[in-house]
Amino acid sequence: MTRKQRRMTMIAAAGGVLAVAVGLILVALNDQIVFFQSPSDIVGKQLPDGQRIRLGGLVEEGSVERGANAEVRFAVTDTVESVKVVYVGLLPDLFREGQGVVTEGVMKGDGWFHADNVLAKHDENYMPKEVAEALKGKGVWQGKE
């Protein structure tokens, strides 16, 4: 085997190992990757059962209902469409109607988005980047550029 053939063999072997490593990383991250969606993005779509997504928008005015056992039902809107959300647990202190919110969970066949994590904005100047981009895309952004 010539020196050039050995070098090409080593490069091919390193490329194969790198491809396997990247494949294993992608398989491992497949369950961890959560895509952000606005209400307009998911209304009318059939999302696969159990697919985790982040739903972001504004908490719709007059939609917050508190039930038994710390269950809270509200709607997230991008002012074009809205999605009903159910969440069981303690909400962040800054959670209120008309404010930006990002929820993480799954859409189920009952038409409700079942959130297991709710994030609210932390001051008056902050809006989650994904929510701001979604609102700008819909042409309803009213904040500073």
Binding site residue list: 122, 126
Distance CA 22, CA 25 (A): 5
Beta-carbon neighbour count of residue 130 at 10 Å? 18
| Displacement of CA 122 from its chain's centroid (Å) | 18
Q: Binding-site residues for heme, please?
A: 122, 126
Contact 121, 97 (CB under 8 A): no
30: left (phi over 0), alpha (psi -120 to 50) or beta: alpha
Q: Is 103 exposed, middle or buried (0-12, 13-18, 19+ CB in 10 A)?
A: buried
